[in-house]
Amino acid sequence: MKAFAIGAVAAAASFAAAAQSSVTLFGVVDAGVARVSATGKGHVDGLMTGGNYTSRLGFRGVEDLGGGMAASFWLEGETATDVGTSAGLNFVRRSTVSLSGRWGELRLGRDYTANYVPFLSFDVYGQRGIGTIEHFATAAGALTVNGAAASDIRNSNSVTYFLPANLGGVYGNLQYAFGERSSSTVASATASKKQGNYAGASLGYASGPLNIGGGYGNFSDVSRAAAYLTDYSIGSLGASYDFGFIKPIFLYQTERADGKLGQPDFKFDTIAIALSAPFGASTVRATYHSYNNKTAGTAGNNDAAKLSLGYVYNLSKRTALYADVARLRNKGSASFVIGGLGGSVVAGAPTAGGTSTAFGVGIRHSF
Amino acid sequence: MKAFAIGAVAAAASFAAAAQSSVTLFGVVDAGVARVSATGKGHVDGLMTGGNYTSRLGFRGVEDLGGGMAASFWLEGETATDVGTSAGLNFVRRSTVSLSGRWGELRLGRDYTANYVPFLSFDVYGQRGIGTIEHFATAAGALTVNGAAASDIRNSNSVTYFLPANLGGVYGNLQYAFGERSSSTVASATASKKQGNYAGASLGYASGPLNIGGGYGNFSDVSRAAAYLTDYSIGSLGASYDFGFIKPIFLYQTERADGKLGQPDFKFDTIAIALSAPFGASTVRATYHSYNNKTAGTAGNNDAAKLSLGYVYNLSKRTALYADVARLRNKGSASFVIGGLGGSVVAGAPTAGGTSTAFGVGIRHSF
Amino acid sequence: MKAFAIGAVAAAASFAAAAQSSVTLFGVVDAGVARVSATGKGHVDGLMTGGNYTSRLGFRGVEDLGGGMAASFWLEGETATDVGTSAGLNFVRRSTVSLSGRWGELRLGRDYTANYVPFLSFDVYGQRGIGTIEHFATAAGALTVNGAAASDIRNSNSVTYFLPANLGGVYGNLQYAFGERSSSTVASATASKKQGNYAGASLGYASGPLNIGGGYGNFSDVSRAAAYLTDYSIGSLGASYDFGFIKPIFLYQTERADGKLGQPDFKFDTIAIALSAPFGASTVRATYHSYNNKTAGTAGNNDAAKLSLGYVYNLSKRTALYADVARLRNKGSASFVIGGLGGSVVAGAPTAGGTSTAFGVGIRHSF
C-alpha cells in the first residue's frame, strides 16, 4: 500500500508557498483463485478480489501550512478486481479532510470508528482475506446505524481528534459521529432523536517491539432488525510483541447490545491469538480465534471458531504472491461462512453447526 | 479551487510535439459541523459537506495543437465528504471536450446552462453553503428536462460556443442542448418532439473593478409535475463593483413557465444584494435576497426572503476555515428550507410561512 | 489513446529499487452531433459520446520486478461525455492484475474474452461509432452469463495466459473464466453447476504488412431468455494486409447456441470486408458487413447488412475530428438499429425488415 506520489515536482513549481505539498494517487489491485466450501452447500470455485489486501483506489494529499500546521485530505474506495467494480467507484472506505498541528489532528468525514482501530491493527491479516479474524458484528440481527445497514467499522458524519505523534509512543483518538436525526423525532420503540449518535475512543502504546492498544465505541438507540432500539457498544483490546523472527499477537473484543423497553440484551466475545513470522522475502501467518455467544439463556448456542494459515512471498515492496487456507467450525445454531473475500466467492451459509473451509492463491499489487 | 498540475514534467518528455500539454487532477474536500432548523421540524445537527465550496473530484487537461489551437477536456463530479460519496463518483458537474482557438471555444458535453452563468458568478457564495442565494427553480412543481428531474443549472447533450478572451472585457456564450426526442413523437398534453430542447446565451463585460453580465435560456415543452407541457424560460442579470475594501453585488433572476393547452402560467423573481469585504487573510460576506411569486392570482402567496452572513479565514490559497449563519423567512404558503449543504443535513420543510435557520463552521481544502 | 505518464519523475525519487515503474492516468473524451433514423421511428438528433473512440477513464501501471519480470495493473471504465457518466464511474471495461516475464503474462480479473480479440482488432472502427461492425450477439434471445446480462465481449472472474512478445510475430492467449456456481446446484432446465464457465483461446500472426488471427470461446450452460440452458460458442477469424496507401481487412464470425433438453439450436454468421486508407493527416474508412441467420428452419429470416463510410482528420496524435455515415438494411423479421454510440442517441428499432441510417460529426481527444 505504499502510495505513489504524483506531481510533486510540478507542485513545487506551482505553489512556491507550499513546497512540501503533494497529491498522491494510490491503490491496490489484488486477485486470486479460491475455493470456498460450506457444509450442505458444496463448494464454489472462483476469482477472489482482495485476498491479501483490499483492492482499492484512492487520492490523498497534504498541504504544508507552515508553523507545523498542515491540511490534508483522503478519498479511498474499494474496487472489485474480479468484476470491474461494477457497482461503481465510491469513497466509502475513507473520505476525510483534516487540519493537523503539534496539538494533534482534527479529522472530519467518513472514517474508521474509534473502536475498530485495535481490531484492525492487531489482526495479522488486516481484516481481509481467507485467514482474517471474522468480524461477526451483526450476529444478533441486522443493525441499522445512521439509517444504513449496520457496521461498527466505519462512521459517516464523524468528527475525530487524534493525539499527536510525539507522545513517547502513546497514540489514540476520540470520535463523535452524528446520527443526524431531527430533534423533533417522536420517541417510539424504533425511533429516537439520538438514533445513530456515536461516541468512541481508542488509546495505545507502541514502543520498540511492544504494541498494546484498546478501543471503545457506543452507538445510541440504533435499531436492531428494524424491530426495536438498542444501545450497541463494542470494546476491544490487543497486544503484540515483535521478537524479530516471530511476532505473537493477542486480540479480544466484546460486543453488547442493550435492548430497550424490555427487549433482550445480547453479548458476544471474540478472542484471537495469532503470529506472523518473516524470513527473507516470505512471511508466514497463523490465526486462531473463537467467537462466543455470551447472551443469557442462549450462551454457547451460537459459537464459532476459526483456524487459518497463510504464506506471503514478497516479489517487491509493492507486489506479493500469497496462499491461504482456513477452516471455520460452527457450534449449536451458528452457521457462519468464511468471508473476507469481498463477497465475490461465496458458498452460502453452512447448515447449523456445520463447517466452512476455504483456500486460495493470488497476486497483490500496490501502487 | 486552484488545481494541481500532475505530470507536467513527464508530459514534456513524452510529447515533444505538445510541450504545453498537461493533465490535472483536482478537487475540493470540504466538511463542517452544522445545525439546520425549520419551524415545526425542530433542528438537526450533523456533518455538512461542501459548506464553503462544493466537494468534488475532477480530471482536466489541455493539449496545445499549435497555431493558437488547443484541445481540452474536463471531467468533474461532486463528492460527499460526510458519507464517502456512497452513491458513486460520476462526472455530472461537468463532462466536456473542447476545441479552441482565436475564434473562441466550441465545447460539447454536459456543462452549466448559459442562463445559469450569471447566477453562479454573481452569488458571493458561489451557489453553495448555508449563505447561498437559494435557487428555487422548481417552486411551481417538479420540472422534467431531458427525461430527468428538472434543473436549469446544467445541460446534458449540449453544444456551446464561447467568445474568445481577447474582446476587451466582453465575454459570453451561446448554447444549444438536445432533448433527444424522436421526430415521430406523437404530440399530446405531456409529449412533444421538441421536449427538452434548450437554447440560451449569456453576455457580460468585465473590466477593472466592474463586472456586469446577463443570461437567458429556454427549455421547450418540458413537462411540469408530469402533467402537462410548458415552455420554461429563465433570465438573469448581475453586476458587481470592486472597491478593493468592499465589493457590492446585485443579482436579478426571473423565471417563467408558460403553460400550454390552457394550463396556468407561473412567474417567479429573485432579487439579491450582497457584499464581500476582504481584510488580510479574512473575507466577510453578506447576502440578502427575496424570492417573489409573481404568478397571476397567487402573487405573493409563495414568497420567501433570506439573510446570511459569513466569514472565511484563509489559512493558505488552498485551505480555509469558515463560519456561516442564515435565516430564511417564508410567506403565505411557502415552506422553503435552507439548502446549499448537499442534502446532508436537513431539517425538513418548515410549516407554511415558517422560518428556517442554519449555522455551521467548517474546513475547506482544495487541491 | 496515447496515455499520459504521471509522476514518473517523482516515482524515480521515491522508489530507487523500482526505477522503471510508472502509474498512468489515461482516457478518451469523445463527443459529437449525430442523427439516427429507423423505419417507422423517425429520427433523433442528439449528442453522441464516443463516436470515434469509446469515452473512458483509466489508471494503469507497471512495476519492474527485475530479471525480466514485471507486475502491472489496469483499471478502465467507460464514461458518457454527453450526460456526465451519470450512472457512475466503474472499471467494467478492464480490471486486471498481471505478472509477466519472458514466459508470457498471467492476467487475473475482468477483461476481453479470448474470442473477441480478433473481432475487435480486425474491425477498422475498433467496435465503436456509427460505422462499426455490429455485434448482434444476443439476436436469438437474451443470454445470461455469470448471472448478468449476456455478453461475449468481456469476462469477469477470468484467468488468462498471454504468449510472450518474442515469438516471431505469433501472438495469442488462453482464457478460463469462472461461472462461480455452487457444486451443489441442482441441475434443471435453467440451472447447472457449470453455468457461465468459459474457456477460450486466440491465436494470430503479425509480421510486416500481414496480420491474421482467430479466436474461439465457449460459455457452458448459459441461460437463454431465462428459459432454458444452452452452450454458447463463438469463433472468429480476421486478416488484414497493409499496402501502405490502403489496408483491406476481412473478418468472419460464427455464433452457435446449442439448445439443451430438446430446445432449438441457433446459428448466426457475420462476414465483413473493410478498408482503411491514410493520406496525410487523414484516414478514410469503409466497411460492408452482413449478419446472417443460419438457424435451421428460419435461415435468412433475420438477416441484416450494413454499409459505412468514415473520415478521420487527425489534429495531433491525440486529437481528431471525424465524420461517419452508415446504412443498415434488415431482411425478413430482423429489426436491428445502428448502434455503436453508447446508447446515447437512439431512434428505436425499425419496423421488421426496415432500414436504419445514421450520420454524425465529432471531436475525439485522448489523454
Across the interface, whether the CB atoms of B89 and A90 are under 8 A apart is answered yes
The pLDDT assigned to B143 comes to 63
Taking CA–CA distances from C108, the nearest residue in chain A reads A31
Q: Say whether C11 sits in a helix, a strand or coil.
A: helix
Burial level of A262, CB count in 10 A (0-12/13-18/19+)?
A: exposed
The pLDDT assigned to C14 comes to 36
Asked if pLDDT for residue B125 goes beyond 80, the answer is: yes
Of the partner residues B69, B92, B182, the one whose CB lies closest to the CB of residue C86: B92
The pLDDT assigned to B301 comes to 75
- Chain B hits for A113, Cβ within 8 Å: none
The pLDDT assigned to A144 comes to 65
Q: Measured on CA atoms in the order C42, C46, C52, C54, is the torsion positive or negative?
A: negative
Asked if pLDDT for residue A300 goes beyond 90, the answer is: no
Q: Give the mean pLDDT of B41-49.
A: 96
The pLDDT assigned to B331 comes to 92
Across the interface, whether the CB atoms of A181 and B44 are under 8 A apart is answered yes
Q: How confident is the model at residue A11 (pLDDT cuts 50, 70, 90)?
A: very low
Q: How far apart are CA B199 and CA C30, in angstroms?
A: 22
Better-predicted residue by pLDDT, C47 or C340? C47
Chain B to chain C Cβ contacts (< 8 Å): 167
Better-predicted residue by pLDDT, B147 or A347? A347
Q: How confident is the model at residue A143 (pLDDT cuts 50, 70, 90)?
A: low
Q: Give the mean pLDDT of B312-324.
A: 97
Across the interface, whether the CB atoms of A7 and B29 are under 8 A apart is answered no
Taking CA–CA distances from B362, the nearest residue in chain A reads A108
pLDDT 10s digits, C147-162: 566 678 999 999 999 9
The pLDDT assigned to B21 comes to 74
Q: How far apart are CA B46 and CA B49, in angstroms?
A: 10
Chain A to chain B Cβ contacts (< 8 Å): 169
Taking CA–CA distances from A94, the nearest residue in chain B reads B84
Q: Give the mean pLDDT of C110-124.
A: 95
The DSSP code sequence of B149-180 is E--SSEEEEEEEEE--S-STTEEEEEEEE---
To the nearest whole percent, how much of chain B has pLDDT over 70?
89
Q: How confident is the model at residue A182 (pLDDT cuts 50, 70, 90)?
A: very high
> Which residues are A323's β-sheet partners?
A311, A361
> B25 with A25: CB under 8 angstroms?
yes
Q: Which residues contact B337 (CB under 8 A, 6 or more apart)?
A: B36, B38, B41, B328, B346, B347, B348, B349, B350, B356
Q: Say whether B78 sits in a helix, a strand or coil.
A: strand
What is the distance in angstroms between the Cα of A112 and the nearest Cα belonging to chain B?
12
Asked if pLDDT for residue B26 goes beyond 70, the answer is: yes
Across the interface, whether the CB atoms of C27 and B158 are under 8 A apart is answered no
What is the distance in angstroms between the Cα of A185 and the nearest Cα belonging to chain B?
8
- Pairing type for strands A355-366 and B228-241 reads unpaired
Secondary structure of A20-70 in HEC code, one letter for each residue: CCEEEEEEEEEEEEEEEEECCCEEEEEEEECCCCCCEEEEEEEEEEECCEE
- Chain A hits for C25, Cβ within 8 Å: 25
Q: Which residues contact B186 (CB under 8 A, 6 or more apart)?
A: none
The pLDDT assigned to C259 comes to 82
The pLDDT assigned to A222 comes to 85
> C79 with B75: CB under 8 angstroms?
yes
Q: Give the mean pLDDT of A98-125.
A: 96
Asked if pLDDT for residue B8 goes beyond 80, the answer is: no
Of the listed ranges B73-87, C1-15, C97-111, the least confidently predicted one is C1-15
- Residue B8's CB is within 10 A of a number of other CB atoms, namely 21
- Chain A hits for C106, Cβ within 8 Å: 363
Residue C352 has which C-alpha cell? 421488421
Q: How confident is the model at residue C228 (pLDDT cuts 50, 70, 90)?
A: confident
Of the partner residues B87, B99, B108, the one whose CB lies closest to the CB of residue C47: B108
The pLDDT assigned to A20 comes to 56
Residue B28 has which C-alpha cell? 475540493
With b for 16 or more beta-carbon neighbours within 10 A and e for fewer, the A20-56 pattern comes to: ebbbbbbbbbbbbbbbbbbbebbbbbbbbbbbbbbbb
Residue A231 has which C-alpha cell? 444501545
Alpha-carbon dihedral of residues A100, A105, A109, A114, nearest 10 degrees?
A: 160
Q: How confident is the model at residue A147 (pLDDT cuts 50, 70, 90)?
A: low
Q: How far apart are CA C206 and CA A318, in angstroms?
A: 35
**Averaged pLDDT score across all residues of chain A:** 89
Taking CA–CA distances from B314, the nearest residue in chain A reads A65
Of the partner residues C25, C83, C319, the one whose CB lies closest to the CB of residue B63: C319
Of the partner residues A25, A45, A88, the one whose CB lies closest to the CB of residue C90: A88
Across the interface, whether the CB atoms of C109 and A47 are under 8 A apart is answered yes
Across the interface, whether the CB atoms of C83 and B159 are under 8 A apart is answered no
The pLDDT assigned to B6 comes to 38
> Distance between alpha carbon A2 and the CA centroid of its chain, in Å?
19
pLDDT 10s digits, A230-271: 888 999 999 999 999 999 999 999 988 888 877 778 888 999
Asked if pLDDT for residue C296 goes beyond 70, the answer is: yes
Q: Which residues contact C26 (CB under 8 A, 6 or more apart)?
A: C1, C3, C4, C57, C58, C59, C60, C366, C367
pLDDT 10s digits, A211-237: 999 999 999 988 776 667 888 899 999
- Type and span of the H or E element at A254: strand A247-259
Touching C (3+ Cβ pairs <8 A), the chains are A, B
Site from A183, A185, A198 to mutate, B interface, most B CB atoms within 10 angstroms: A183
What's the farthest any 2 CA atoms get from each other in chain B?
68
Of the partner residues C14, C63, C94, the one whose CB lies closest to the CB of residue A319: C63
Q: How confident is the model at residue A171 (pLDDT cuts 50, 70, 90)?
A: very high
Taking CA–CA distances from C95, the nearest residue in chain A reads A84
- Chain A hits for C89, Cβ within 8 Å: 88-89
Tell me how many degrees the CA angle A366-A25-A211 measures, rounded to the nearest 5: 55
DSSP type of residue A188: -
- Pairing type for strands C266-279 and C247-259 reads antiparallel
Q: How far apart are CA A29 and CA C107, in angstroms?
A: 12
CA proximity to C47, closest of B156, B75, B107: B156
CA proximity to B35, closest of B316, B361, B367: B361
Of the listed ranges A37-41, A320-324, B186-190, B250-254, the least confidently predicted one is B186-190
The pLDDT assigned to B150 comes to 61
Better-predicted residue by pLDDT, B57 or A264? B57
> A97 with A59: CB under 8 angstroms?
no
Q: How far apart are CA B245 and CA B263, in angstroms?
A: 50
> A110 with A156: CB under 8 angstroms?
yes
Q: Give the mean pLDDT of B128-138.
A: 82
Q: Give the mean pLDDT of B13-36.
A: 76
Q: Give the mean pLDDT of C20-27.
A: 86
Residue position matching grid coordinates 484512492: A58
- Residue B168's CB is within 10 A of a number of other CB atoms, namely 6
- Chain A hits for C183, Cβ within 8 Å: 42-44
Asked if pLDDT for residue C264 goes beyond 90, the answer is: no
- Chain A hits for C177, Cβ within 8 Å: 47
Residue B304 has which C-alpha cell? 420567501
What is the distance in angstroms between the Cα of C262 and the nearest Cα belonging to chain A?
29
**Averaged pLDDT score across all residues of chain C:** 89
Q: How far apart are CA B171 and CA B114, in angstroms?
A: 12
CA proximity to C113, closest of C194, C217, C256, C213: C217
CA proximity to B275, closest of B258, B293, B290, B287: B287
- Chain B hits for C318, Cβ within 8 Å: 15, 18, 63, 71
> Which residues are C25's β-sheet partners?
C4, C59
Taking CA–CA distances from C92, the nearest residue in chain A reads A84
Q: Is A221 left (phi over 0), alpha (psi -120 to 50) or beta?
A: left
pLDDT 10s digits, A43-85: 999 999 999 999 999 999 999 999 999 999 999 999 999 999 9
What is the distance in angstroms between the Cα of A47 and the nearest Cα belonging to chain C?
5
Of the listed ranges B83-97, B138-152, B318-332, C51-65, the least confidently predicted one is B138-152
CA proximity to A49, closest of A339, A289, A353: A339
Across the interface, whether the CB atoms of A77 and B85 are under 8 A apart is answered yes
Asked if pLDDT for residue A7 goes beyond 50, the answer is: no
The pLDDT assigned to A263 comes to 77
Of the partner residues A10, A71, A94, the one whose CB lies closest to the CB of residue B5: A10
Better-predicted residue by pLDDT, B344 or A313? A313
**φ, ψ at B223 (rounded to 5°):** -95, 140
Q: Is A326 left (phi over 0), alpha (psi -120 to 50) or beta?
A: beta
Q: Does domain C34-50+106-154+170-366 have CATH number 2.40.160.10?
A: yes
What spatial distance separates the first Cα and last Cα of chain B, rounded to whole Å? 7
Q: How confident is the model at residue A294 (pLDDT cuts 50, 70, 90)?
A: confident
The pLDDT assigned to C22 comes to 83
Q: Is A262 left (phi over 0), alpha (psi -120 to 50) or beta?
A: left
Q: How far apart are CA B213 and CA A227, in angstroms?
A: 57
Residue A67 has which C-alpha cell? 508553523
What is the distance in angstroms between the Cα of C178 and the nearest Cα belonging to chain A?
5
Q: How confident is the model at residue B348 (pLDDT cuts 50, 70, 90)?
A: confident
Site from C93, C178, C197 to mutate, A interface, most A CB atoms within 10 angstroms: C178
Of the partner residues A43, A82, A364, the one whose CB lies closest to the CB of residue C109: A82
Q: Which residues contact B151 (CB under 8 A, 6 or more apart)?
A: B137, B143, B145
Residue B136 has which C-alpha cell? 428555487
Across the interface, whether the CB atoms of C318 and B10 are under 8 A apart is answered no
Asked if pLDDT for residue C177 goes beyond 60, the answer is: yes
Q: How far apart are CA C85 and CA C344, in angstroms?
A: 11
Across the interface, whether the CB atoms of C31 and B94 are under 8 A apart is answered no
Of the partner residues C93, C99, C178, the one whose CB lies closest to the CB of residue A363: C99
Residue position matching grid coordinates 483456500: A359
Touching B (3+ Cβ pairs <8 A), the chains are A, C
Residue C294 has which C-alpha cell? 443460419
Across the interface, whether the CB atoms of C97 and A30 are under 8 A apart is answered yes
Of the partner residues C14, C17, C110, the one whose CB lies closest to the CB of residue A5: C14
Please give the radius of gyration of chain B, using alpha carbons only, rounded to the nearest integer. Answer: 21
What is the distance in angstroms between the Cα of B4 and the nearest Cα belonging to chain C?
12
Across the interface, whether the CB atoms of C180 and A44 are under 8 A apart is answered yes
Q: Give the mean pLDDT of A139-160.
A: 74
Q: Is A353 left (phi over 0), alpha (psi -120 to 50) or beta?
A: left
> A319 with C63: CB under 8 angstroms?
yes
Q: How confident is the model at residue B227 (pLDDT cuts 50, 70, 90)?
A: low
Q: How confident is the model at residue B148 (pLDDT cuts 50, 70, 90)?
A: low
Residue position matching grid coordinates 488462453: C174
The pLDDT assigned to B135 comes to 77
Better-predicted residue by pLDDT, B307 or A268? B307
Q: Give the mean pLDDT of C15-22.
A: 50
User: DSSP E strands: which ranges in chain B?
Assistant: 4-6, 22-38, 42-49, 56-66, 69-78, 94-101, 104-112, 143-145, 148-149, 154-162, 170-177, 198-207, 210-224, 228-241, 247-259, 266-279, 282-293, 304-314, 319-330, 355-366
